[in-house]
């Protein structure tokens, strides 16, 4: 396995600090101390704390997007693609709960910041890749007719809601144990025909 880059080490140190102290209470100095990087290195890679926040957010969502794209390459049916949207999300959240919690609570901050346009473009591209992966199945009528944004909410909405509650410690169910159930519910909610 490749050694993490200095930039990745800084991001992981930032995540640890944000998790322990909160985003607002974390300082550049705390991230520097945790990562072992110099202030010059931090500023070279990111420029400021807000850019670290945005970079960490974008890196996490990119990891999920990559996981999903690799899965689409192997999925051979409309059902497999829909279930993949749910299972990939759950798999990433369960493997990265602190990062998922950070993403959940930081979206509006990143959108309002100087890299908000980068986030919006990344989300637009991610959504376009999902729609492209499903396009032929939609043309074949294998999904019920729903507007694109509604389709996405129906598929992933219940999973995101349970994940949000699981991350906050408000569920009795383990998120990973609900993986197949939520994937099946998503499929049944959007499949076309009889």
Higher-pLDDT residue of 194, 166: 166
In a domain, 84, yes or no: yes
Residue range 19-60, pLDDT digits in tens: 999 999 999 999 999 999 988 889 889 989 999 999 999 999
Residue range 58-99, pLDDT digits in tens: 999 999 999 999 999 999 999 999 999 999 999 999 999 999
d(CA 128, CA 130) in angstroms, rounded, equals 5
CA angle 97-39-43, nearest 5°?
A: 75
- Residue 39: what pLDDT? 87
Same-domain pairing of 157 and 184 = yes
Same-domain pairing of 92 and 168 = yes
- Residue 100: what pLDDT? 97
Q: How many domains does the chain have?
A: 2
CATH code of the domain covering residue 68:
1.10.357.10
Same-domain pairing of 124 and 38 = no
Same-domain pairing of 73 and 168 = yes
| Per-residue CA distances from 145 to 63, 128, 155, 192 (Å) | 30, 18, 13, 8
| CA-based nearest residue to 89, from 162, 16, 169 | 162
In a domain, 100, yes or no: yes
> At residue 146, does pLDDT exceed 70?
yes
Same-domain pairing of 11 and 102 = no
In a domain, 53, yes or no: no
| Per-residue CA distances from 49 to 53, 100, 111 (Å) | 6, 19, 15
């Amino acid at each position: 396995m490749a050694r993490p880059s200095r930039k990745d080490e800084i991001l992981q140190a930032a995540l640890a600090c944000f998790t322990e102290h909160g985003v607002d209470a974390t300082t550049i100095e705390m991230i520097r101390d945790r990562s072992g990087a110099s202030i010059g290195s931090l500023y070279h890679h990111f420029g400021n704390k807000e850019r670290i926040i945005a970079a960490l957010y974008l890196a996490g969502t990119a990891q999920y997007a990559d996981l999903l794209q690799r899965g689409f390459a192997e999925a051979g049916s409309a059902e497999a693609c829909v279930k993949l949207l749910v299972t990939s999300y759950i798999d990433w959240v369960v493997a990265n709960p602190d990062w998922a919690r950070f993403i959940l609570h930081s979206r509006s901050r990143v959108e309002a910041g100087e890299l908000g346009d980068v986030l919006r473009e990344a989300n637009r591209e991610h959504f376009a890749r999902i729609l492209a992966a499903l396009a032929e199945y939609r043309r074949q009528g294998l999904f019920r007719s729903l507007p694109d944004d509604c389709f996405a909410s129906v598929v992933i909405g219940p999973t995101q809601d349970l994940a949000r509650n699981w991350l906050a410690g408000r569920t009795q169910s383990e998120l990973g144990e609900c993986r197949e159930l939520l994937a099946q519910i998503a499929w049944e909610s959007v499949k076309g025909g009889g």
